[in-house]
């Protein structure tokens, strides 16, 4: 692929990305999540350090976390509201 074609392809991908702040109520099947996370592991990172950890939280955990964060923010003690409520997903190669 020529340099201009690479730039064009990347530009198309970069311009098509978007942030999503609204979510559907239906859960995503585990096999779909696993495939997404496996693909995401191939994303480049600075010096290949891959400084991320993947966390998945169900609706109940999200509601509980939201309630704790709101309560913490209202009490000026937000740091006390952050309680780990997520499940860490790990993948073997």
pLDDT tens digit sequence for 35-57: 988 888 888 878 877 777 777 77
The pLDDT mean for the chain works out to: 75
Cα distance between residue 36 and residue 43, in whole Å: 11
Global confidence as pTM: 0.45
| Phi-psi category of residue 66: left, alpha or beta, with phi > 0 → left and psi -120 to 50 → alpha | alpha
Q: Of residues 89 and 17, which shows the higher confidence score?
A: 17
Please compute the mean of the pLDDT values over residues 55-60 and round it to a whole number: 77
Cα–Cα separations (whole angstroms), residue 93 to 33, 34, 56: 16, 12, 20
Q: Where are the beta strands (DSSP E) in the chain?
A: 55-56, 87-88
Q: What pLDDT, on the 0 to 100 scale, is given for residue 91?
A: 44
Please compute the mean of the pLDDT values over residues 67-75 and round it to a whole number: 78
Cα distance between residue 28 and residue 91, in whole Å: 18
Q: What pLDDT, on the 0 to 100 scale, is given for residue 81?
A: 45
């Amino acid at each position: 692929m020529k340099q201009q074609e690479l730039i064009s392809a990347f530009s198309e991908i970069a311009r098509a990305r978007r942030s999503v702040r609204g979510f559907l109520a239906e859960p995503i099947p585990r096999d779909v999540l696993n495939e997404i996370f496996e693909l995401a592991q191939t994303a480049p990172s600075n010096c290949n350090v891959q400084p991320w950890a993947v966390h998945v939280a169900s609706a109940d955990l999200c509601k509980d976390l939201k309630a704790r964060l709101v309560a913490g923010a209202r009490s000026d003690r937000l740091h006390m509201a952050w309680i780990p409520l997520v499940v860490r997903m790990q993948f073997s190669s």
